[in-house]
Amino acid sequence: MPDLVSLQKMTARFAPVEISAGTSHLPDAEQQALTRMLEAGLIMDTLYLRQVWAGNEALLEQLQRDTSPLGTARLHYFRINKGPWSRLDHNAPFIPGVPEKPLAANFYPQGATKGELEAWLNTLSGKERESAVGFFTVIRGAAGGARGFVMIPYSAEYDQELARAAALLREAASLTAQPTLKAYLTSRADAFLSNDYYASDIAWMELDASIEPTIGPYEVYEDEWFNAKAAFEAFVTIRDDAETAKLVKLSGQLQDIEDHLPIDAKYRNPRLGSLAPIRVVNEILAAGDGNRGVQTAAFNLPNDERVVKEKGSKRVMLKNVQEAKFRIVLVPISQIVLSPSDRKNVSFDAFFTHILMHELMHGLGPHEIRVADRTTTVRQELRETYSTIEEAKADISGLFALQYLIDKGVIDKSLERSIYDTFLASAFRSIRFGINEAHGRGIAIQLNYLMDTGAFRITPEGTFAVVPAKIKDGVIALTREIMTLEAEGDYVRAREMQKDLGVVRPEIQAALDRLQDIPVDIEPQFPAVQRLISDTKNRH
Ligand code: ZN
């Protein structure tokens, strides 16, 4: 087990930072509604702890009683990880006496095996089976005998907490004057009690308000058996009006960008379909599954396919979380890996505008394609390489699009140097997370390609620099190569590209080795919640 010093080192990988947003522009009643949403959000923390492991709440109480330095350090790291396992270290336990992290979390009967569960599920059919494998039930009962298992809806399993959360959401609904917000809060409160989340997911898609809450059971990652059971989380956020306006401006340029993509004209889409909605918001509370280990900077919901089919899905970008990660992680990285003259151009505006463009560019370029007289999709043809190639596409064509809009006068020319320098620094941040997942591997492809074409160079001191005379051509060439590969559904070429370029070369590794003391991520502190807690104490 890690001792005090190593526990402090592990914890220091998460730099504490305040995450807040201005709310003074909101009318009083909206602010009061917001407070109720924060209270409801905090209940998600309790429920999530219980979902992760049946022993979590008792362990938390025990840790709270231990005021020794080691006890305090354990409690701190427990809160970051929402349990006694270090998520950054393959879930290694850091408190003595706890079991391995259960893959089944607390969603399935303790002591039961996955095989027993599967055997039981196979005896079910119709609606019953649908609920048993669905998002919003837990399975309980004695292990060993399949007949002993029963499913319990979340509304019963977590009845007390959900009743309290529903009451708070109803109070919030009665306070707000914003109709779509009222509709979401009311239908979500209903869902907590009825266990039917469909209408509230639809209402969430239709939210158009200054406050944008996401509260309830959503992501399924914690269920490592079946990825079926939804974990409770909350994001209480305030809409960012300036960035929302920027997004509208960029969205208005998309057809023009498509028409000028650096690919054969026959691969361009003359009529782009409507885009999935994107919201830019600032977080004032993340709780439960939304606040464990590495912080969420953006999410896509809902996960219910019926809702996605009817209404599509929505992407929510947490701008102040991105800004904190930029300041705490990316800027220090840039100071080590970039040449002195490149460092000074790194900016959050460039960073965030490129992220927005990345999201928009997923919608551009080839999707439905024809290969050997068949109609098919890029996803199908590129198989397991698809995610990596598509992420690389969104990044590199995002740079292409920003340059195009700068040349056109839509985006300010002052951003020109910044976008490339910021992208270069950000590449090291992404690769540091590993090239075992699509985003990191996609970044490695771009970094190596741009090094090979001389658009980036390494200085005699071992730092990296943008080559202004070559970067634009490099970006165009790689955009053309990746989008053409997608248009032709060229799996063989995609695999080659991934194998040759999706790697960490020695000179990159040498730079990564110098980043060890830079935090991996942030540990958010929420002043809005601290205010709420001290107000509540004063009332009693
Ligand atoms: Zn992406």
Give 391 Cα–ligand 1 centroid separation in angstroms.
5
Residue 143 has pLDDT above 70, yes or no: no
Å from CA of 462 to ligand 1 middle: 30
pLDDT one-digit tens code per residue, 469-522: 999 999 999 999 999 999 999 999 999 999 999 999 999 999 999 999 999 999
Ligand 1 centre from 395 Cα, in Å? 8
pLDDT at 32: 96
Q: Is the pLDDT of residue 146 over 60?
A: no
Pairwise pLDDT comparison (233 vs 536), residue with the higher score: 233
Q: Which amino acid is at 498?
A: Q
Residues around ion ligand 1, judged by CB within 5 A, are 391, 394
- Mean pLDDT, range 338-357, rounded to an integer: 96
Q: Is residue 456 part of a domain?
A: yes
In a domain, 403, yes or no: yes
Summarised one tens digit per residue, pLDDT across range 44-84 is 999 999 999 999 999 999 999 999 999 999 999 999 999 99
Residue 144 has pLDDT above 60, yes or no: no
Residue of 101 and 147 predicted with greater confidence: 101
Within-domain flag for 151: no
Angle between helical axes of 491-501 and 468-487 (0-180°, round to 10): 140
- Whether residue 366 is contained in a domain is answered as yes
pLDDT confidence of residue 435:
82
Token pair, residue 39, equals: 């209270």
Cβ atoms of 135 and 217 closer than 8 Å: yes
Q: How far is the CA of 118 from the centre of ligand 1 (A)?
A: 34
> How many residues in total does the chain contain?
540
For the purposes of burial, counting CB atoms within 10 Å of the CB of 457, is it exposed (0-12), middle (13-18) or buried (19 or more)? Answer: middle
* Mean pLDDT computed over 195-203: 97
Residue 273, pLDDT score: 81
For ligand 1, the distance from its centroid to the CA atom of residue 161, given in whole angstroms, is: 35
Span from the CA of 489 to the centroid of ligand 1 (angstroms): 19
Counting Cα atoms < 13 Å in the Cβ hemisphere of 9 gives 8
Least confident span in 245-249, 520-524, 535-539 = 535-539
CA of 69 to the centre of ligand 1 (A): 42
| pLDDT at residue 539 is higher than 90 | no
* Closest of 140, 141, 149 to residue 119, by C-alpha: 149
CA–CA distance from 113 to each of 103, 108, 117 (Å)?
A: 11, 9, 6
Q: Does residue 435 lie within any of the structural domains?
A: yes
Q: From the CA of 393, how far away is ligand 1's center (Å)? A: 9
Enumerate residues 6+ apart whose C-beta is below 8 A from 12: 519
Q: How many domains does the chain have?
A: 1
- At 7 the pLDDT is 97
Tell me whether residue 363 is in a domain: yes
Distance from Cα 105 to the centre of ligand 1, integer Å: 29
Distance 144 CA to ligand 1 centre (A): 44
Query: Which pLDDT tens digit goes with each residue over 377-405?
Result: 999 999 999 999 999 999 999 999 999 99
**Is 413 a member of any domain?**
yes
Band (pLDDT 50/70/90 cuts) for residue 148 is: confident
d(CA 400, CA 420): 10
Q: Does residue 369 surpass a pLDDT of 60?
A: yes
Q: How far is the CA of 355 from the centre of ligand 1 (A)?
A: 9
Mean pLDDT of 254-267: 97
pLDDT at 506: 95
Quote the distance between the C-alpha of residue 253 and its chain's center: 26
pTM of the model: 0.92
Band (pLDDT 50/70/90 cuts) for residue 276 is: confident
User: How many angstroms is it from 308 CA to the middle of ligand 1?
Assistant: 18
Select from 198, 192, 185 the least CA-distant residue to 163.
Answer: 192
Rounded to the nearest whole angstrom, what is the distance from the C-alpha of residue 168 to the centroid of ligand 1? 35
Residue 408 domain-assigned? yes
Q: How far apart are CA 366 and CA 494, in angstroms?
A: 15
Mean predicted confidence (pLDDT) in 349-363: 93
Distance separating alpha carbons of residues 117 and 139, to the nearest angstrom: 9
pLDDT for res 540 = 61
Poorest-pLDDT segment among 147-151, 286-290, 443-447: 147-151
With bands split at pLDDT 50, 70 and 90, how would you rate the model's confidence at 147?
low
Compare 29 and 148 and report the one with higher pLDDT.
29
Domain that holds residue 481: 326-504
Average pLDDT of span 442-454: 97
Between strands 85-86 and 92-93, the pairing is antiparallel
